[in-house]
Amino acid sequence: MNVHIVCPDHKSDWIIARLVKHLMKSNGWTASNEPDPGAEANVFFPYCQWRYSRFRKTVIAAWMTHLEDESVEHGAKRKRWFDTAPVLDLRVTPSRMYYDLLRHYGPTVLIPHPVELDKFVIVKPKTHPKPIIGVAGRVYSGGRKGESLVRRLYEEQGNCWEVRAAGRGWPVPTSKYAWSRLQEFYQSLDVFLCTSLVEGGPVTVLEALACGKRVVIPWHVGAMDEIPEYSGARHYEAGNYASMVDAIKLALDDETRPKAMRAIAGEYTVDRWCRRWREAMEEIVG
């Protein structure tokens, strides 16, 4: 099956590019900046790459990631999400909350993000003078990563907990990790914290779990409701600082069980990701 992926960044080590590279390697698909009229199907990765209103030469699908909030700053991208969904032959999303919105437009498939389980692994933990709480990812304008919560945590709890970040844009001590070393960041933590208000995943939580780390995650954000409330996996009310701090305390009091944490991430394999995509495209192409 000749499937082409439209993605401007399919060669870097950032998450979108890694997802595309997995599909290319496993399924034999191609990728470039533009749609391929000679393919059987074109997949726009993500949906915001769809800007070809007259391109109907092939089956078209898109990776429908997070839906932006209703703020003026994000209005154009939110509009594009809703404008793109109806014109597609297939919508693919990582989150059930978005699946429930998209399925009304036609064929829609839920395919959760994968995590590279051979890379993100458990190592023997080190003892720290005070617990280390970590966040990761790129912070964008608009505040959807919940960076204000991280700043407040750093300012108010810094004497009790060390708060650190990997990526860019966080208002706390932040390190940039090459992809080859990213697992070392998670392995250095006691608890991984997700403060996002809007997400499709995020993958960072799966990476932390695969490393056997306890996680604190928001309810009703991306795919976070699909991770069970569990000893070591604690939820809190998204955007609520007091609720977040209480969840961190619970997680720190939970018994450290790296194998149990990794087991939560165990089903999110790269093989399943590629197979589910291949099956979805085979069905829609016919």
The sign of the dihedral angle between the CA atoms of 276, 167, 51, 143 is positive
pLDDT of residue 172: 97
* Closest alpha carbon to 80 in 98, 67, 93, 89: 67
Mean pLDDT, residues 34-54: 87
Rounded Cα distance, 117 and 31, in Å: 25
49-58, 63-72, 99-108, 122-131, range with greatest mean pLDDT: 99-108
Residue 255 CB coordination number (10 Å):
8
User: CA dihedral in degrees (180, 184, 185, 191; nearest 10)?
Assistant: 140
pLDDT of residue 53: 61
User: What percent of the chain clears pLDDT 90, i.e. is strictly above it?
Assistant: 86
Which residues make Cβ contacts (< 8 Å) with residue 277, sequence separation at least 6? 23, 27, 92, 111
List, in order of start, the domains of the chain with CATH numbers: 3-114+269-285 (3.40.50), 132-265 (3.40.50.2000)
Please check the confidence at residue 55 and state whether its pLDDT lies above 80: no
pLDDT band at 142 (very low <50, low <70, confident <90, very high): confident
